[in-house]
Amino acid sequence: MTFKITLMGGDGIGPEVVAQAVKVLDVLRTRHGLEVETQDALVGGAAYDAYGDPYPAQTQALARDCDAILFGAIGGPQYDDLPRDKRPESGLLAMRADLGLYANLRPAILFEELASASSLKPDIVAGLDILIVRELTGGIYFGKPRGIEERNGIKTGFNTLVYGEDEIRRIAKTAFEAAQRRNGRLCSVDKANVLDVSQLWRDTVNAMAADYPDVEVSHMYVDNASMQLVRDPKQFDVIVTGNLFGDILSDLAAMLTGSIGMLPSASLGEGGHGMYEPVHGSAPDIAGQDKANPLATILSLAMLLRHSLNRGDLAELVESAVAKVLAQGLRTGDIAAGGDVVGTAAMGDAVAAAI
């Protein structure tokens, strides 16, 4: 059976970093017998430019008809003044909802060679390896009612935070299972001292704990979690939380490493379908200049191989190749710390050659 991957470069540096991951994919195809074909689709600003819609029907069809999506990045200043539903971000949100990609896996891993890039002291972050499991298709991102209207003569904005027990169970299951494969510790983050939704979240996670006797469960308020991530991030193994808290905490955790140009992510639905993307954004200021770091996208391809194609063996090949080029001293500008710099394409070639 031949796998099908949809490539969505998106905006800014997106297309050029995805192109490097494709080089790696080509090596897996030609030299490691991976049977895979690719198809291209537009998303975000690029899709708006072409079709007036950041997630058009053509893209939707290609996004559904594949085993996995490799995504670059979206957004750019030229789209900032569009109505919200035309903006690149809306395309991403629409795709997450459309494909039911409810589980966002965001590892925050410190690469030993890049330890000095962190703004934290070396002993605080050395060996850091956290996984944040963020719910991605619910919560306040999608809750209704929402809008802006006059209330008693005052312009008023409103959004709804809402989670059903089924949504909480589904994401908690992902997180419990991840903790089982890792170090067996799961911290659920909420604001149960204030929010009813968080109380239900906490109760639901607690009710599931008995089914995972090998996982040690703890709970933390989101304000405390943001402190603890700064104070002593290595106390965490897996963190599970809702859409908005996950947005904030996963970016915080990523920044602890100092090298967000290195961090991949996965957004998974039922049955292995998934979307894989680097954590960094579209960086329009350096787009098209052969300056972007393609390693986060290449590591996202590794996650794709592991989670959607069930080829953990090939994922490890890719991850070792990335480790190898780092050990060789190859650095793009964002992780160079004053040393020699290679371009996006050269970095892609080097990883492909190292496999």
Ligand X SMILES: CC(C)[C@H](C(=O)O)[C@@H](O)C(=O)O
Q: Give the closest residue to 291 by CA, choosing from 355, 338, 339, 336.
A: 336
Tell which one of 78, 218, 224, 310 touches its own copies (CB under 8 A).
224
- Residue 285 binds its own copies, judged by CB under 8 A: no
CA distance 88 to 90: 5
For the record, the structure tokens of 310 come out as 């069930």
- C-alpha 272: how far from its chain's center? 16
Return the residues of window 316-345 that contact ligand X according to CB under 6 A: none
Is 340 in a helix, a strand, or coil? Answer: coil
Among the listed ranges 59-67, 89-97, 144-152, 207-215, the one in contact with ligand X (CB under 6 A) is 89-97
x-or-dash pattern for ligand X, window 222-261, by CB under 6 A?
A: -x-----------------------x--------------
Report the partner that residue 254 touches, choosing among ligand X, its own copies, none (CB closer than 5 to 8 A by kind).
its own copies
Give the contacts of 202 (CB within 8 A, at least 6 positions apart): 188, 190, 192, 219
Termini Cα distance of the chain? 23
Bridge partners (DSSP) of residue 130 are 108
Q: Is 234 exposed, middle or buried (0-12, 13-18, 19+ CB in 10 A)?
A: middle
List the binding residues for NAD(+): 76-89, 281-293
Active-site positions?
A: 141, 191, 223, 247, 251
* Single residue of 78, 193, 206, 310 touching ligand X by CB under 6 A: 193
Q: Which two tokens stand for residue 336?
A: 């160079």
Does residue 37 touch ligand X according to CB under 6 A?
Answer: no
Site string for its own copies, 139-168 (x = CB under 8 A): -xx-x--xxx--x--xxxxxxxxxxxxx--
Q: Between 114 and 133, how does the x/- string for binding to its own copies read (CB under 8 A)? A: -----xxx--x---------
User: Residue 328 contacts by C-beta under 8 Å, 6 or more apart in sequence?
Assistant: 350
Q: How far apart are CA 185 and CA 28, in angstroms?
A: 34
Closest distance to its own copies from the beta carbon of 193 (Å):
5
Contacts of residue 176, defined as CB under 8 A and 6 or more positions apart, other chains included, come to 186, 208, 211, 212, 215
Q: Counting every residue, how long is the chain?
A: 355
Q: Which stretch binds ligand X (CB under 6 A): 14-22, 47-55, 85-93, 204-212?
A: 85-93
* Cβ at position 23, least distance to its own copies in Å: 29
Nearer to its own copies, 193 or 310 (CB): 193
Contact 5, 68 (CB under 8 A): yes
Q: Which residue is nearest to ligand X (CB)?
A: 89
194 counts as binding ligand X under rule CB under 6 A: yes
Which residues contact ligand X (rule: CB under 6 A)? Answer: 89, 92-93, 193-194, 223, 247
Which residues contact its own copies (rule: CB under 8 A)? Answer: 84, 87, 89, 93, 119-121, 124, 140-141, 143, 146-148, 151, 154-166, 191, 193-201, 222-224, 226-227, 230-232, 244-245, 247-252, 254-256, 258, 260
